[in-house]
Structure 1
Amino acid sequence: MEWIEAKSLLSKVSFNGDLWFGIDYIMNLYKGCNHRCIYCDSRSDKYFIESFDRVRGKKNSEGLLYFELKKHKTGVINFGAMSDAYNSEELREGLTRNALKKIAEFGYGISIETKSNQIIRDVGLIQKIQENHSASIKLSITTADDKLSRIIEPGVCVSSKRFEAIRKLSDAGIYTGVLLTPVLPYITDTVENIEAIVKKASESGASFIYAQFGMTMRRGQREHYFEALDHHFPGLKERYQRSYGDNYGCEAKNSKELAKAFVENCEKYGLLYKMEDIVKATPKKKTMEQLSLFS
């Protein structure tokens, strides 16, 4: 794997972290991703990542993280914002696993979003992190159909394998849920798909599910997506162009219907779905709560 220089790893979020799973810091140990999801926002020109499908690791990440964890105030570190922390290189290089060991040592919390069932390898470390802080794990699932998953997310395990990972994490006492985003107009934007994902999430032991009913379409991302549409869904690109033009945000045309079905099914199965409720319900150890009273 190619290695790149990095001056730091932790970035303090510039927004209210409670708007996104209560995070305080964002960390990307890798640059690029080889899951090859046809819709990925991170491959857009905005982020200046050349050869996005090629994964590169950040040199001396363990040492950098050690000094930053000593320097910063404890909080929740987010993995997976730009590059999935469980890409195929992680099995060989272990940057994510080494980072989790350091985070457990220094008493920080974690929030991880991933499409990979590789995360079950680190169940023990995540449990250890929960002993002193908090952990919130989200498996990103866009379709309940494995056949469709292989088309739109060809470089990662199918959706059913992710539901299995949710079950293993949940059974281990880890706060786990589903990130149902993006919803692709004319591909995954059916009531049947939304209902199936919520039902499977419940059956898998998920505590929550968070959804957004649309997708982004930035320059760079758009061209890659349209090329994939031409290959797998002939004629659909033209429908996008007629419906959305050059819009950045492409909300599903039936988003209100989808949202209604989503809420009804979440309430039916007892799943949290509002961000404030998901954050509030995140398990926190008593020592952490006591520290916050005197900080």
Structure 2
Amino acid sequence: MEQYQFGAAVLTKSDLILRDAELIASINQQQKAVVQMTMTTFDDELCKIIEPNVCPTSRRADVLMEMKRLGVPTVVWLSPFLPYINDSEENLRGLLGYCAEAGVKGIVFFGIGLTLRDGNREYFYSALDRHFGGLSQRYRKEFGSAYEIVSPNHSRLMAVFNEFCDKYGIIHDINACFGYLNELPEKYEQLTLF
């Protein structure tokens, strides 16, 4: 990609991307490279429960800071927000603080909640029973077999999110975020067939 001057967009939740940080920075100098990082939970201990076997959020924030240092633009995906687990203002503000400090270009955010398909719903409820005793019963009672699970805190937290992003100049309209990811730099010359 670097040799032939292609751009790149990488979406990860791993700090292993730091192995290629200098290469990504070089690609970004020639064309455009964007590192996208998924973040869900500000509290690292809770993160280890919700997202086992990946690096904690604080380490992902370190990745964003390193990309900032190298001049590589970043986009954060905030997802999922689980009702009664990480759907708090404290959690959201903590994650947004990381984003502001790292100077992220945009945040892709589909709202406060999650989706549950048949099959993964059973797995999710089983995990709730293992880690948050009794919470699966509350989900069953409140959400039934709904595909889209919207947090009771959705409206209030979306207002916090929108106000924060406006204040810090962070792109937060989903279409605008995807538009940014698909934008080619001015120096890019489209090849033609003729």
TM-score normalised by structure 1 residue count = 0.60
Q: Which residue of 2 aligns with 1:221?
A: 120
- Partner Cα distance (1:122, 1:226) in 2: 37
Does 2:175 match 1:276? Answer: yes
Does 2:147 match 1:254? Answer: no
Q: Which residue of 2 aligns with 1:141?
A: 39
- Partner Cα distance (1:124, 1:225) in 2: 38
Does 2:166 match 1:166? Answer: no
Q: Which runs of 5+ in 1 are unaligned?
A: 1-102
3-state SS of paired residue (1:182): coil
On the 8 A contact 2:109/2:174 being kept in 1, the answer is no
Out of 172, 193, 200, the position equivalent to 2:98 is: 200
Q: Which residue of 2 aligns with 1:150?
A: 48
CA gap 1:208/1:294 in 2 versus in 1, 3 angstroms:
farther
AA aligned to 2:175 is E
Identity between Structure 1 and Structure 2 (%): 33
- Partner Cα distance (2:102, 2:138) in 1: 35
On the 8 A contact 1:132/1:285 being kept in 2, the answer is no
Q: Which residue of 2 aligns with 1:66?
A: none
CA gap 1:294/1:201 in 2 versus in 1, 3 angstroms:
farther
Shift of 1:219: 2.4
Measured against aligned partners, the alpha-carbon deviations of 1:222-276 in whole angstroms (never above 9, x if no partner) come to 1221111111100100111111111122122221111111001112222221133
Does 2:117 match 1:181? Answer: no
Shift of 1:293: 9.8
Does 2:13 match 1:118? Answer: no
- Partner Cα distance (2:86, 2:70) in 1: 31
Correspondence list, 1:90-101, <5 A = none
TM-score normalised by structure 2 residue count = 0.88
Shift of 1:181: 0.8
Q: Which runs of 5+ in 2 are unaligned?
A: none
Q: Which residue of 2 aligns with 1:286?
A: 186
Measured against aligned partners, the alpha-carbon deviations of 1:128-153 in whole angstroms (never above 9, x if no partner) come to 33244322211111011111111111
On the 8 A contact 1:130/1:285 being kept in 2, the answer is no
CA gap 1:293/1:258 in 2 versus in 1, 3 angstroms:
farther
Measured against aligned partners, the alpha-carbon deviations of 1:95-142 in whole angstroms (never above 9, x if no partner) come to xxxxxxxx3344433222211111111112212332443222111110
- Partner Cα distance (2:125, 2:81) in 1: 16
Shift of 1:214: 1.5
Corresponding residue pairs, total:
192
On the 8 A contact 1:183/1:189 being kept in 2, the answer is yes
When the two chains are superposed, the root-mean-square deviation of aligned CA atoms in Å is 2.2
